[in-house]
Amino acid sequence: MGGDKKGSEDRGLDLMLLFAPQAPEKPDDPDLVPLSEARAKEQPSPVAIAVMRHFGTEPFVPITMWAVWLCIAGFVAIQLGTYALTGDSFFGTITGGVVESLRLSTGVPMTWHMMTGSAMWTLGFVQIMLKNLRHGSLAWVHRLSGVMLLLLWFFVVGPTAAWLSLHVGVGNAGAQWAMMIFAVVGMDSTSWASYYMMRGLIVIRRRARGSASIDLHSRLMRMGLTLTMLILFQRPLQFIGICIRFFLQLLSYVFPTDSWLARGLQGFVHHALDHNVILSVTTMHPQALLFFVFDGPRSEIALILVGINPQDYDEMVEAFGSAEPYLLEKLFWRLRYLLFFLLRYHVTNGFTVDPVHKP
């Protein structure tokens, strides 16, 4: 009976393993020891030391996590509450339907993204914070919520995030280059989150190291889910930018209409503080920090944040499928910005077309 239950669990997502590289065995020949073990003897860089001092030995502090989830609950409540009252998103409402409005041509995928993203974060709360559901008679709740979370991300939330990033509008100012940066940043954070969640799925399906695999799975999934929450840092900055725009617009009315000061303020508001430009500039914090992690999740800082020890050969192999990156993997992470740039170039027909229009 127990064997049948275990077999049914293992058959659930085994198809995903067909697309994952098989973990090679640890080499016995000293000459074949990968470069990662040689790097272990090197001293960490000053940046890595600063990150370690900031985060400590545990990258995810329980007290901080409760504060984060409280912010998430507030954000979701504001979004869904605004939608119930106005039929539009919060920022779509306060910008007059200019930015991230459900009434734009991107409204349908935006609605799906908003609703399923809220559901995914709710499932993430169950996964991370309700630890009592991981064992005992209610363990099925933890497993089911994990499967539903991954399904939502890979089939709805992730694809709509990528699509909306590439199809973001350029606004009244025609800010093609500013929104190109937004598109690249959005695609980048989506790629990072997808990678960590995929690796977390593979690790938990194989469980090559027993309880150590479960711990690694937890860290990978937390990192992936955290990368979907970078919007929590961006939204307050965007709101502040909108408030500054509103204040300067009111200030321009104080001066005579034909004065240079009024014209200067109006020009600054309509160009530098265009709603789409505000969206792009505020999105670069903190997502744009990923630009400086050229080697992707195998970079030193990324390993520290996830808590992966580069000296542990078995953990490196289990986390990434190999101790050293494959050629295609290395090429993707190092050339991803060029790829995202070309995709945006195609969507905008050479930066000449606004992908978004009002109905």
> pLDDT tens digits, residue range 30-39?
444 444 444 4
Whether 18 shows a pLDDT value over 60: the answer reads: no
- Mean pLDDT for all residues in the chain: 85
How many domains does one find in the chain?
1
Residue 190 lies in a domain: yes
How much of the chain, in percent, has pLDDT values that exceed 70? Answer: 81
Please write the tens of the pLDDT for every residue from 60-103.
Answer: 445 577 888 999 999 999 999 999 999 999 999 999 999 999 99
How much of the chain, in percent, has pLDDT values that exceed 90? Answer: 67
Residue 2 lies in a domain: no
Structural domain for 156, as ranges: 42-347
Residue 158 lies in a domain: yes
pLDDT value for 57: 41
Residue 328 lies in a domain: yes
Residue 4 lies in a domain: no
The stretch 206-219 carries a mean pLDDT of 94
Closest C-alpha to 348, from 180, 190, 187, 172: 180
Closest C-alpha to 161, from 95, 96, 86, 227: 227
Least confident of 65-79, 109-123, 175-189, 274-288: 274-288
Residue 72 lies in a domain: yes
